[in-house]
């Protein structure tokens, strides 16, 4: 088992290295360079020599292998460098954005999963009947809504026409609120983006949970459990939910990872200061250090999520545990 874990760790490190390398290469493969950022204004009035000097100040004049070596070296000691655009350490920028993305994407995913699981269970219970069909239809309908479209409609209706919610931002920072007032203000700002996120993302979990539950409900051990005289509730929680969790957890991990990079659109619509928006802007500006830092962080988060899922699999599904042990024994 220990060897298995080591081997997995090695694999993950390999993925991390590959991703880190890709992070280095991708921005540099894109046409254009961050000169405009480095020069600030009046880039046009610089002489060629000044331009080159400017690129040299951030090491972009060096050959790629050398830049790559230095990049890996720094990464190993946790140095993400300085943002070209913001003149700040990348780590500082990332850490200032991370809480907001965690709040929005994290809360959104958890809520979406709970909603999806609950509705999925509800639907599975009355499989094939009107309630199931209605929920199914609704889930598919919501899933098909473009996130930015929903967000903009919500702003148009609930923030502009009827000004119930703020149109932008994560907080009214200048109000200098503390405690409950601050929490309320954050919640007030979070409401619409969160609603958007949950609306467009709960159905994935719903569909998975419903189908998994239906599958499990038909399995012999469930039938047997019923036959043993266990109550519906007992069967549901002791046998059915536990077995249906596997695909739900898979989807959760996948979605979580996706949410970190993919909340860009929602963050844009609501001017929410998260990581997704940061990456998008960094790409457009060729702010390499920010890109690399953000990619790295997302990559690590995704890998950790994957490790967690892998670790949870055997716990969630004894059959996989057995299979894994067998595989190890064979190897």
Which residues within the stretch 129-158 sit at the binding site for another protein (CB under 8 A)?
133, 136-137, 140-141, 143-149, 152-153, 155-156
Burial of 64 (0-12, 13-18, 19+ CB in 10 A): exposed
For the record, the structure tokens of 266 come out as 């929602």
- Using CB under 8 A as the binding rule, whether residue 173 contacts another protein is answered as yes
Instruction: State the minimum distance, in angstroms, from the CB of residue 98 to another protein.
Output: 12
Write the interaction track for another protein spanning residues 8-27; mark x where CB under 8 A is met and - where it is not. ---xx-xx--xx--x---xx
- Our CB check for another protein shows the closer of 92 and 228 to be 92
Residue 54 or 229: the one with the smaller Cβ distance to another protein is 54
Residue 230: CB minimum distance to another protein, A: 20
In whole angstroms, how close is the CB of 313 to another protein at the nearest point?
Answer: 8
Residues 6 or more apart whose Cβ sits within 8 Å of residue 41: none
CB 201 within 8 A of CB 115: no
- What 8-state DSSP symbol labels residue 172? -
Binding residues for another protein restricted to 52-111, rule: CB under 8 A: 53, 82, 85-88, 93, 96-97
Name the residue with tokens 């610089």: 46
CA distances from 120 to 54, 109, 125, 233, 242 (A): 57, 16, 9, 16, 14
Task: Specify the DSSP class assigned to residue 41.
Answer: S
Q: Among 6, 183, 184, 323, which residue interacts with another protein (rule: CB under 8 A)? A: 323
Among 1, 2, 3, 41, binds another protein (CB under 8 A): 41
DSSP 101: H
Alpha helices in the chain (DSSP H): 2-29, 35-39, 48-57, 64-76, 90-101, 107-125, 130-143, 147-154, 179-217, 220-227, 232-235, 241-262, 264-269, 275-285, 288-316, 318-330
Task: Lay out the site mask for another protein across 274-293 (x = CB under 8 A, - = otherwise).
Answer: --x--xxx-xxxx----x--
- Residue 89 φ then ψ, to 5°: -60, 135
Q: 61 or 229: whose CB is closer to another protein?
A: 61
Q: How far is the CB of 211 from another protein (least distance, A)?
A: 4
Structure tokens at 110: 């958890």
Q: Which is nearer to another protein, 29 or 229 (CB)?
A: 29
Stretch 190-209: interaction string toward another protein, x if CB under 8 A: --------------x--xx-
Residue labelled with tokens 């419903």: 210
Please tell me the chain's helix, strand, coil percentages from 3-state DSSP, rounded to the nearest 5: 80, 0, 20
Name the minimum Å distance from CB 112 to another protein.
15
Question: What backbone phi and psi angles, to 5 degrees, belong to 183?
Answer: -60, -40
Site for another protein in 218-257 (CB under 8 A): 218, 246-247, 250-251, 254, 257
Taking the complex as a whole, the smallest distance from the CB of residue 5 to another protein amounts, in Å, to 14
Q: Which of 80, 210, 222, 235 binds another protein (CB under 8 A)?
A: 210
Identify which of residues 77 and 331 has a Cβ nearer to another protein in the complex: 331
What's the full length of the chain, in residues?
Answer: 331
Single residue of 4, 9, 30, 223 touching another protein by CB under 8 A? 30
Tokens describing residue 207? 């569909």
- Cβ-contact 239, 221 below 8 angstroms: yes
CA 257, 259, 260, 264 dihedral sign is positive
Q: Which stretch binds another protein (CB under 8 A): 66-74, 178-186, 229-237, 313-321?
A: 313-321
- The minimum distance between CB 309 and another protein, in angstroms, equals 9
């Amino acid at each position: 088992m220990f060897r298995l874990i080591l081997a997995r760790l090695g694999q993950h490190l390999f993925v991390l290295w590959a991703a880190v390398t890709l992070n280095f290469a991708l921005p540099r493969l894109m046409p254009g360079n961050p000169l405009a950022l480095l020069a600030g204004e009046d880039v046009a009035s610089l002489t060629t020599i000044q331009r080159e000097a400017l690129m040299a100040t951030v090491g972009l004049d060096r050959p790629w292998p050398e830049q790559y070596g230095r990049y890996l070296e720094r990464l190993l000691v946790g140095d993400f460098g300085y943002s070209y655009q913001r003149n700040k350490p990348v780590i500082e920028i990332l850490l200032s954005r991370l809480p907001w993305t965690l709040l929005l994407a994290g809360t959104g995913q958890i809520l979406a999963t709970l909603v999806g699981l609950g509705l999925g269970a509800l639907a599975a219970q009355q499989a094939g009947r009107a309630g199931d069909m209605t929920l199914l239809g609704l889930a598919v309908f919501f899933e098909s809504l473009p996130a930015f479209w929903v967000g903009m409609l919500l702003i148009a209706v609930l923030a502009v026409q009827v000004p119930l919610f703020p149109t932008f931002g994560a907080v009214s920072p200048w109000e200098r609120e503390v405690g409950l007032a601050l929490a309320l203000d954050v919640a007030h700002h979070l409401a619409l983006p969160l609603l958007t996120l949950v609306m467009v993302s709960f159905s994935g979990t719903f569909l998975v949970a419903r189908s998994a539950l239906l599958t499990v409900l038909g399995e012999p051990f469930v039938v047997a459990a019923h036959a043993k005289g266990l109550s519906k509730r007992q069967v549901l929680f002791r046998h059915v939910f536990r077995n249906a969790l596997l695909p739900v957890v898979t989807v959760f991990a996948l979605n979580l990872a996706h949410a970190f990079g993919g909340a860009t659109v929602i963050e844009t619509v609501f001017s929410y200061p998260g990581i997704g928006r940061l990456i998008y802007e960094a790409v457009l500006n060729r702010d390499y250090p920010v890109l690399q830092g953000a990619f790295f962080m997302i990559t690590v988060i995704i890998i950790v999520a994957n490790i967690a899922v892998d670790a949870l699999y055997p716990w969630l599904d004894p059959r996989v545990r057995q299979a894994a042990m067998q595989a190890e024994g064979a190897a």
